[in-house]
Structure 1
Amino acid sequence: MYAIIRSGDKQFRAEPGMTVRVPALSADVGDTVTFDEVLLASTEDGTTVGTPTVANATVTGEVVRHGKDKKVIIFKWKRRKNYRRK
């Protein structure tokens, strides 16, 4: 059983007991979060695809922690000109 949910502008696959990293949420650690935008729901009975969302379907989860991703380094350079910027 799994569901495809939308949080912000991204889509994530969620399964029972799975940890999902989503963009910043305005919830404290330990709070319960409900995602109402379920795009696809799959069970043993079959798969339901929403148009655009599945009616009466929600995914609930708990905020485990907040954090940041690894720092992205932008490197600019031009060939043969000895131009490099980090």
Structure 2
Amino acid sequence: MNSYAIVNIKGMQFKLFEKKYVYIPYLKLEIGKKKILDQVCLFSDDGLVYIGTPFIKDIRVNIEILKHVKGNKIIIFKKKRRKGYKIKNGFRPIYSKIKVISFFKKTSKNINA
């Protein structure tokens, strides 16, 4: 079995597998930078499941930013009937493509993390 973690990133929860890619909401980091995520809600490793209340204190996730991309266009349409009021707007949200490098347990060596 693969180990995975459910991590809170910008108020949204994502299921992350080791050495896999995921698109998440935009993080203001340069491409190639590494970041350590510490808000792990659930961690599973070879059948053992650790559940946080709300987060697990000892488990960290090491990720790398690969690129920033725009998503599909989202249309916002507002209308008031019988008033002639119609507004159509849209935007393309920005996502960050990340790669999960590893899961690790926080120890006394990783104090600065």
TM-score category, normalised to shorter length: 0.7 to 0.9
The count of residues paired between Structure 1 and Structure 2 equals: 85
The letter of the residue matching 2:11 is D
Q: How does 1:38-57 map to 2 (within 5 A)?
A: 38-57=40-59
1:61 equivalent to 2:57? Answer no
SS at match of 2:62: strand
Q: Normalising to structure 2: TM-score of the pair?
A: 0.66
SS at match of 1:39: strand
Identity across matched positions, percent:
33
Structure 1 residues 7-64: Cα deviation after superposition (integer angstroms, max 9, x where no partner): 1110000001111111121211011111110000001141001001012111111101
Match of 2:26 among 21, 24, 27: 24
Q: CA deviation at 1:73?
A: 1.2
In structure 1, runs of 5+ residues without a counterpart are none
Greater RCO, CA 8 A, separation 6+: 2
Q: CA deviation at 1:78?
A: 6.7
Structure ranking higher in strand proportion: 2
Indicate the residue corresponding to 2:103 in structure 1.
none
